[in-house]
């Protein structure tokens, strides 16, 4: 077995519980979003005009101009905004967790000594962490798409969301996770203990979400520009589900944040001292 | 095998290691002594490429320890002073993981050493191991690795006396097979037992390198003279003055054969009293870390 694979296996072993719990939660929520869509589409097509109007208005308020009342768009609304944003929280938690575990976490635990005293390069060490992070993102994508697929088996929709209507917003979510991982791993590369980068990354993510919320208040057009100051400005799952015109641009922005953060972290890690555990 | 030239590591104003110039020969057991914070671990981490030198250079088998650290670590097995092992893994899984990081070739030997020599139950989770058992596990891996250089940082600190004996045996075995060993520790008697040479460090500086073979043949003479106290001695005797505790007493070092010394003593009319003994490593260590340590490295006895 190569050193890279051995290290990757160890990382998988360490994070398997978190991985499984997040994947299971995403699978379940995705399934649930299909069920909710089934109910909502029934209301929209039902005889109760007032109820249909109310539902339509509610969806419009959340979905904004992208709202087209397709099954995919309604599922995205439920999955990402109405279920207490749990999928966003879970993917961000994974990104922050993996980013901060990669360098500062290993240093703090003293496991870096054990590993890097063997003939494994810092590049391979870094890449193993990166591979583990992406493995998680891949698994989450499968969990969301799988949950949708299984849900559609039980709740037959007249016009079900197609594969891409589910995959595109999922991809958008994972790109958001990549961006969060980018700055988390950068903070991690500078530190000796894990709590500081974790606090910094979590605080910055929360601050960005608040900025995003302010920028998207219905009547606060003068604050729309704030979307450019937050990674959440690249996260439009409803648009991605309904049309996907902006997905490439949004992915580009989020990928740039990931690439800059990860590249800087890699460069810092290549050059930095690795003192004994806990600094 | 190891060569350092002016190797220096500073953390801001703090000098963790200053101007270390040292050569360790292949097949040699080199003892490294000094209290905590004297620079031993910094030196080891510089050799492993975990720290970047502020100045100077270190090489292992000709490979630069910073720019070619992977090449260096192919040749080196390291036992860290502070052991942190993944507690959720079994002893066997830890050995397998560490072996896999080196291509997997040392697993069988590591298992054999851990079970037969160290007496470990490898099916247990490491979380349930005592500190000493974890150290034994890491030692089993270190001695199993097919490497040219072993760096052991306080290898016996958590071990019981019989296990300490096993480690000494394993170090001697490693030396027999041609491996070079850096043995960093605090137990002077152990270092004295295994080392070919010993370096003593203080405040990031290498104060002295002592050849232990010469030291084992060293005799100390405490002689009281009546009348004139000699300043020089016949060269053939290989006697030198270490100290002058009082005006009529000399502390002498003798490295030569006993016969000529005894003849000379018999013929020396002005020696009124004499005591002959040996000197252990503690005496040398205390010269740098005792109650009244010397400030500078000893002239002529540096590497």
Identify the residue among B84, B104, B150, B184 best suited for mutation to test binding to A, counting A beta carbons within 10 A and taking the highest. B84
Query: Hey, which bits of B90-235 come out as E strands?
Result: 149-153, 180-185, 197-202, 205-211, 219-225
Identify the residue among A11, A101, A119 best suited for mutation to test binding to B, counting B beta carbons within 10 A and taking the highest. A119
Q: What values do phi and psi take at B279, rounded to 5?
A: -130, 130
Q: Read off the tokens for B159.
A: 């071990």
Q: Read off the tokens for A5.
A: 């694979």
Q: pTM, whole model, 2 decimals? A: 0.85
Q: Is B234 exposed, middle or buried (0-12, 13-18, 19+ CB in 10 A)?
A: exposed
Q: Read off the tokens for B68.
A: 């070619």
pLDDT one-digit tens code per residue, B152-198? 988 888 788 888 888 888 888 899 999 999 998 888 888 888 889 99
For residue B169, the model assigns a pLDDT of: 87
Radius of gyration of chain B (CA): 23
Helix (H, G, I), strand (E, B) or coil at B145: coil
| Weakly modelled stretches of chain B, pLDDT under 50 | 298-303
Interface of chain B toward chain A, CB-CB under 8 angstroms: 41, 45, 48, 50-52, 69-71, 73-74, 76-78, 80-86, 88-89, 97-98, 100-104
Is B82–A14 a contact, with Cβ atoms under 8 angstroms apart?
no
Q: Read off the tokens for A7.
A: 């290290």
For residue A2, the chain B residue with the least C-alpha distance is B103
Alpha helix ranges (H) inside B101-187: 107-112, 131-144, 161-176
Mention every residue, 6+ apart, whose C-beta is less than 8 A from residue A54: none
A21 min Cα distance to partner chain B (Å)? 19
Highest mean pLDDT among A230-234, A259-263, B111-115, B196-200: A259-263
Residue found by looking up tokens 């972290």 in the block: A265
Alpha helix ranges (H) inside A46-70: 49-63
Percent of chain A with pLDDT over 90: 49
pLDDT one-digit tens code per residue, A55-84? 777 777 777 766 777 777 888 888 777 777
pLDDT one-digit tens code per residue, B59-94? 999 999 999 999 999 999 998 877 788 888 899 999
B131 min Cα distance to partner chain A (Å)? 15
For residue A163, the model assigns a pLDDT of: 83
Q: Which residues of A touch B101 (CB under 8 A)?
A: 3, 6-7, 115, 118-120
Chain B touched by A268 (CB under 8 Å): no
Is B50–A111 a contact, with Cβ atoms under 8 angstroms apart?
no
For A1, the closest of B73, B89, B104 (CB atoms) is B104
């Amino acid at each position: 077995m190569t050193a890279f694979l051995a290290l990757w296996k160890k990382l998988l072993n360490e994070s398997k519980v978190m991985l499984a719990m997040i994947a299971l939660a995403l699978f379940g929520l995705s399934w649930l979003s299909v069920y909710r869509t089934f109910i909502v589409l029934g209301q929209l097509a039902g005889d109760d005009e007032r109820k249909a109007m109310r539902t339509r208005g509610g969806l419009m308020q959340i979905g904004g101009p992208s709202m087209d009342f397709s099954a995919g768009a309604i599922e995205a609304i439920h999955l990402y905004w109405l279920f207490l944003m749990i999928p966003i929280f879970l993917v961000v938690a994974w990104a922050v967790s993996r980013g901060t575990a990669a360098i500062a976490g290993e240093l703090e635990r003293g496991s870096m000594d054990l590993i890097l005293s063997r003939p494994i390069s810092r590049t391979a060490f870094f890449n193993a962490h990166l591979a583990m992070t992406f493995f998680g993102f891949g698994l989450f994508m499968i969990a969301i798409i799988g949950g949708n697929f299984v849900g559609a088996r039980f709740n037959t929709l007249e016009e079900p969301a197609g594969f891409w209507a589910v995959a595109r917003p999922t991809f958008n979510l994972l790109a958001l996770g990549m961006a969060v991982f980018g700055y988390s791993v950068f903070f991690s590369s500078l530190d000796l203990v894990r709590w500081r980068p974790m606090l910094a990354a979590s605080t910055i993510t929360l601050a960005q979400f608040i900025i995003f919320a302010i920028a998207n208040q219905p009547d606060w057009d003068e604050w729309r520009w704030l979307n450019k100051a937050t990674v959440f400005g690249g996260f439009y799952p409803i648009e991605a589900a309904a049309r996907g015109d902006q997905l490439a641009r949004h992915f580009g922005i989020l990928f740039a944040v990931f690439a800059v953060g990860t590249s800087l972290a890699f460069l810092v890690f290549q050059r930095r001292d690795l003192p004994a555990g806990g600094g | 095998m190891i060569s350092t030239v002016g190797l220096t590591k500073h953390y801001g104003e703090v000098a963790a290691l200053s101007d270390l110039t040292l050569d360790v020969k292949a097949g040699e057991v080199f003892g490294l002594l000094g209290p905590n914070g004297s620079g031993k671990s910094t030196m080891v981490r510089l050799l492993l490429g975990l720290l970047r030198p502020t100045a100077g250079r270190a090489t292992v088998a000709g490979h630069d320890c910073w720019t070619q650290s992977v090449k260096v670590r192919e040749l080196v097995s390291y036992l860290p002073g502070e052991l942190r092992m993944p507690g959720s893994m079994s002893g066997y899984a830890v050995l397998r993981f560490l072996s896999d990081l080196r291509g997997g070739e040392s697993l069988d030997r590591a298992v054999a050493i851990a079970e037969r020599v160290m007496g470990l139950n490898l099916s247990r989770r490491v979380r349930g191991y005592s500190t000493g058992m974890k150290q034994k596990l890491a030692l089993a891996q270190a001695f199993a690795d097919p490497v040219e250089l072993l760096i052991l940082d306080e290898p016996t600190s958590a071990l019981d006396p019989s296990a300490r004996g096993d480690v000494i045996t394993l170090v001697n075995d490693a030396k027999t097979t041609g491996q070079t060993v850096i043995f960093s520790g605090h137990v002077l008697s152990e270092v004295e037992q295994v080392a070919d040479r010993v370096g003593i460090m203080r405040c990031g500086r290498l104060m002295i390198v002592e050849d232990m073979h010469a030291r084992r043949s060293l005799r100390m003479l405490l002689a009281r003279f009546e009348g004139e106290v000699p300043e020089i001695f016949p060269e053939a005797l290989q006697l030198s003055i270490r100290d002058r505790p009082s005006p009529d007493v000399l502390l002498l070092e003798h490295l030569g054969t006993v016969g000529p010394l005894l003849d000379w003593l018999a013929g020396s009319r002005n020696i009124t009293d004499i005591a002959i003994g040996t000197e252990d490593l503690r005496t040398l260590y205390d010269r740098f870390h005792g109650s009244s340590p010397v400030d500078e490295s000893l002239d002529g006895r540096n590497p």
